Amino acid sequence: MIVEHIIQGLMYPFLFLSMYFQILLLTSFFENKKKIKSEESRTVTSYPSVTVAVPCWNEEKTLGSTLDSLLSLDYPKGKLKIYVVDNNSTDRTYAIGEVYAYNNPGVIEVHKEIKQGKHHAVNLALELSKSDFFGCLDADSSVIPSTLKTIISYFEADEHTMAVTPCIHIRSPKTLIQRMQAIEYLMGVFLRKAYGELDAIQVTPGPFSIFRSEVFKKIGGYKKAHNTEDFEITLRMHKARLKIVNSHKALVYTVGPSTPRGFFYQRLRWARGFLENALDYKELFFKKKYGNFGMFTLPMAFMFVFYGLYAAIFSVYTFGSMVFDTAKRWLAVGIHPHIPTFDLFYFNTTVMSFIVMVMLSMLLFVFYIGNTLSDDRQEFYRNFPMFFLLYPFFVPVFLGRAIFDTLTNRKNNWVLQDTKAGI
């Protein structure tokens, strides 16, 4: 009994902070709703030069569609430069890049980087770039024609904006794992927008985040950064107090891992990369000069990794206790099947159950907002059950492994993409 009270008692701070965090983000969003709506009517009056790096490793199946989407951008070709950087592929990736470079002279160039690591590939393109703006598009991702113009409009609207993140969706989800991710990415649509209004965006994702080129002159190029270079450069930008915003109408599609193993290893890499990079930049924690990012969102996100694991263990313990108690009752008095009834009089009205219901309601509202923010309309009601049925089983596994690997300093192997060789 004492153990149960301790376990439940430790859950209350987590639930309170989680609810407070959700309320803060929702409040930030609705306080800026008119401003967010006004962003959708922005237009571009000039077309600055833009370089897009396409780092790739064994991407013969997707590189063509990625380059086709870039060539279809509603943007002057004379202002667009695309560097395909092959990172020692063993398939036809480089040959495909050469064909596109031959057919699009002056727009596409293909290069080979022998040093392993996505950061090396992107830095090669960065060294070659002479454009006003620089971005990256993973070779398994694609953009719609208006995406670049939409992003550039944010730079035009505010000269202090140094980077713009897009709105990312899973492209044509087919497997149950991809459908689960489609809903998860809807949450990301809302979170990035809400974080942007707080000037606290946590990551400039690889799929088509665009930077002013002067950013790299101020803080340097990409680093290996525990295989999560996009998160590390975001921390570096916050440390230099450079402004990052989000464009919820700049659509980018990425291919999510199609198997449980692939999803696990991708989220393990992300979770471990977050923990290790956050520890590398621990001087940002609780520092007022870094604004909401340093004072609140970064420390909260770091803490939630550990509390999230604890919450998962708590849920397993609670479910296990319920099953154990039911089994004991059946062994004592036998199994007496009956039709379940619903009576509000017997409804569980404990404080914890009430908080959980409120949090779940807010979470559903977040999914709804994410689904309405962007112009993408995927099969929401078909994908939605997959998230609640499958996602809870993955969270304790990859969070637990990420924490263990970080604490024990296990070797962190390089991965360019998480969709290779069954991953």
Domain map (residue ranges) of the chain: 1-46+142-325+346-423
Give CA–CA dist 417/104, Å, rounded.
26
DSSP character string of 140-164:
TEEE-TTHHHHHHHHHHH-TTEEEE
Whether 222 and 134 have beta carbons less than 8 Å apart is answered as no
Q: Which residues contact 275 (CB under 8 A, 6 or more apart)?
A: 302, 305, 402, 403, 406
CB atoms within 10 A of CB 187: 15
Whether 143 and 251 have beta carbons less than 8 Å apart is answered as yes
Give the pTM: 0.89
Residue 149: exposure state from Cβ atoms within 10 A (0-12, 13-18, ≥19): middle
Q: Which residue shows structure tokens 């006004």?
A: 38
- Which pair of tokens denotes residue 238? 């916050």
Widest distance between CA atoms in the chain: 81
Whether 143 and 154 have beta carbons less than 8 Å apart is answered as no
Helix (H) or strand (E) holding 109: strand 108-112
Whether 285 and 298 have beta carbons less than 8 Å apart is answered as yes
pLDDT in tens, the chain (423 residues): 576 666 666 777 777 778 888 888 899 899 999 999 999 988 898 999 999 999 999 999 999 999 999 999 999 999 999 999 998 889 999 999 999 999 999 999 999 988 778 999 999 999 999 999 999 999 999 999 999 999 999 999 999 999 999 999 999 899 999 999 999 999 999 999 999 999 999 999 989 999 999 999 999 999 999 999 999 999 999 999 999 999 999 999 999 999 999 999 999 999 999 999 999 999 999 999 999 999 999 999 998 898 888 877 777 777 777 787 778 777 777 776 666 555 555 555 666 677 777 778 888 888 888 888 888 877 777 888 889 888 988 988 999 999 999 999 887 764 444 444 333
- Which pair of tokens denotes residue 36? 């967010």
